[in-house]
Amino acid sequence: MKRIRSSSRKIDTAFAVLLFAVFAAIAILVVLLVAKQYKITTEVMEKDYRTRTANSYLREIVHQHDKAGSISVDEFSDTCALRFTEEVNGYTIHTFVYCYDGYICELTSVDDAAVSLDSGTQLIPAKSLVPELVDDDLLKISYTDEEGISRNLFIKLNCPTGKEAS
């Protein structure tokens, strides 16, 4: 009789240990799968965030300067740039948005100031930025993000070139 109880306890103990091991293995597997999915999700969200940030910045700066004759596409130190011009207290202020050294940069200067590309503030990682006035009231901005994905942004101007808003 003792022998049966002893063998029964060994089987019960072995079964409990085996059940615990299976539970632990499943728990570790679930944690690993969730961690992998979390990593993928955060990477996608980060890419979307960078795209939305770039698009929002470009739209906002264009709309801030959407006045007759204030938006142009110019060469700035041999780089294609968006130029925003405005008169403030008798001074002509120019704001340039361009791509330099892997970033979309912004530089604001007074008309007679000597400035260079590296004087601008680095804002958003990007490989290129090509603005183009498609029509008097339509601006196309093509840029390539840091991963090499090309994006096009079309912005309808409220004040077409040379005309004031009514």
Segment 1-25, tens digit of pLDDT: 455 566 678 888 889 999 999 999 9
Sign of CA dihedral 151, 152, 157, 161: positive
SS3 62: helix
**What are 126's two structure tokens?**
């990007």
Residues contacting residue 62 through CB under 8 Å, at least 6 positions apart: 71, 82, 139, 155, 157
Q: Where are the alpha helices (DSSP H) in 65-73?
A: none
* Structure confidence at residue 165 (pLDDT): 44
- Lowest mean per-residue pLDDT among 85-89, 95-99, 153-157, 158-162: 158-162
Q: What is the pTM of this model?
A: 0.72
Q: Bigger pLDDT: 46 or 160?
A: 46
